């Protein structure tokens, strides 16, 4: 990977906050049950916003913080599984709003998408000789949530986050890990709605919702997170990471790994209670939140780790430079 630094970070979430008490009116559940099982109290859900609007707002704020002209951006990489368009890419639509010329692409890797996007963006900086790259995640899982299913509807929220990467004399990103294993049991997926054609009849075309087998996802996630964190720690050698920002699908997953690795609670930044699982946007929203709250300070070495549909997983170590 090229020598890069994080120059700007921002996030944007919808105005509408959906509380556990609100969900009690939709399905048979309770605030106490949701918090106990997931650690989630509230989530933000789209009412009038779009993934393009959320991603664009986060991008603008990240560019402003980075202190660069928007035309210095040489590439936009965006991770999403919930964009409103099949084509053009959501990255291209945000590019149109920014009114800049550069290559754009979407990355689809489930909740690991932002890790994939960061590694892709940093790697292409070297390949394409770029000075700055914009990496965005924007998700609207509420589009695909079955709001009659109490097992899944309590878990998800919407939001976006963005980071500006700049070429640097000394790199702040280290030891990228991208992995994946086949989802042979279909434990986590959203099927696309099919349309009838003159050559194929569709007898039934129900709304396609996110489907998940919770126990199987838990087993995969805990193994993937632990394995990735151990690999990153080994690669760090005598300069270990001291802080961790994981993908946050369920607080129990993180707590299980923490106890198994004998890590301290204070080493993890968690904001799942406020935002729930926002798929690939979870990590950049948490990064932004951790920075704004002073939990992340310049010079900190932090491990990012994610897992998601596919089944995908990944991680990277960052020396915080903002």
Lowest mean pLDDT among 159-168, 192-201, 250-259: 192-201
What pLDDT is recorded for position 207? 67
Give the N- to C-terminal CA distance of the chain in Å, as an integer.
20
- Reduce the DSSP state of residue 59 to 3 states and report it: helix
What mean pLDDT value characterizes the chain?
Answer: 95
What tokens appear for 75 in the block?
A: 């590439």
Which residue, among 228, 211, 206, has the nearest Cα to 305 in the 3D structure? 228
Its pTM surpasses 0.75: yes
The domains located in the chain, with CATH, are 4-171 (3.40.47.10), 174-319 (3.40.47.10)
Indicate whether 118 pLDDT > 90.
Answer: yes
- Catalytic amino acids? 111, 247, 277
- Torsion sign across C-alpha atoms 283, 285, 288, 294: negative
What tokens appear for 244 in the block?
A: 């961790």
Q: Compute and round to an integer the Cα radius of gyration of the chain.
A: 19
Q: What is the mean pLDDT of residues 61-65?
A: 98
What pLDDT is recorded for position 217? 96
Lowest mean pLDDT among 61-75, 104-118, 192-206, 245-259: 192-206
What tokens appear for 204 in the block?
A: 């039934």
What pLDDT is recorded for position 192? 82
- Phi and psi at 245, nearest 5°, equal -120, 105
What pLDDT is recorded for position 206? 64
- Phi and psi at 320, nearest 5°, equal -70, 125
């Amino acid at each position: 990977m090229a020598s890069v630094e994080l120059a700007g970070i921002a996030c944007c979430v919808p105005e509408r906050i959906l509380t556990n008490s609100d969900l009690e009116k939709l399905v048979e559940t309770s605030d106490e049950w949701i918090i106990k099982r997931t650690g989630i109290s509230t989530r933000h859900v789209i009412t009038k916003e779009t993934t393009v609007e959320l991603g664009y707002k986060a991008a603008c704020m990240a560019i402003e913080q980075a202190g660069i002209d928007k035309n210095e951006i040489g590439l936009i990489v965006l991770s999403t599984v919930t964009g409103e368009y099949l084509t053009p890419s959501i990255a291209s639509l945000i590019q149109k709003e920014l009114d800049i010329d550069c290559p754009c692409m979407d990355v689809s890797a489930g909740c690991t998408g932002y890790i994939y996007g960061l590694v892709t963006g940093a790697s292409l900086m070297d390949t394409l000789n770029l000075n700055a790259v914009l990496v965005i995640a924007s998700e609207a899982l509420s589009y695909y949530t079955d709001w009659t299913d109490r097992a899944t509807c309590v878990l998800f929220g919407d939001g976006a986050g963005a980071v500006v990467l700049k070429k640097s004399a000394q790199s702040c990103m280290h030891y990228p890990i991208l992995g994946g294993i086949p989802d042979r049991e279909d434990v986590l997926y959203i099927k696309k709605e099919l349309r009838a054609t003159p050559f194929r009849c569709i007898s039934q075309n129900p709304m396609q919702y996110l489907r998940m087998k919770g126990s199987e996802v838990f087993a995969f996630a805990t193994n993937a997170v632990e394995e990735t964190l151990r690999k990153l720690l080994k690669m760090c050698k005598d300069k270990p990471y001291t802080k961790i920002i994981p993908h946050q699908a369920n607080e129990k997953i993180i707590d299980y790994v923490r106890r198994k690795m004998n890590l301290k609670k204070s080493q993890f930044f968690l904001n799942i209670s406020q935002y729930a699982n926002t798929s690939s946007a979870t990590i950049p929203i948490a990064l932004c939140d951790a920075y704004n709250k002073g939990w992340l300070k310049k010079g900190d070495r932090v491990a990012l780790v994610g897992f998601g549909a596919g089944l995908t997983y990944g991680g990277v170590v960052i020396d915080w430079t903002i």
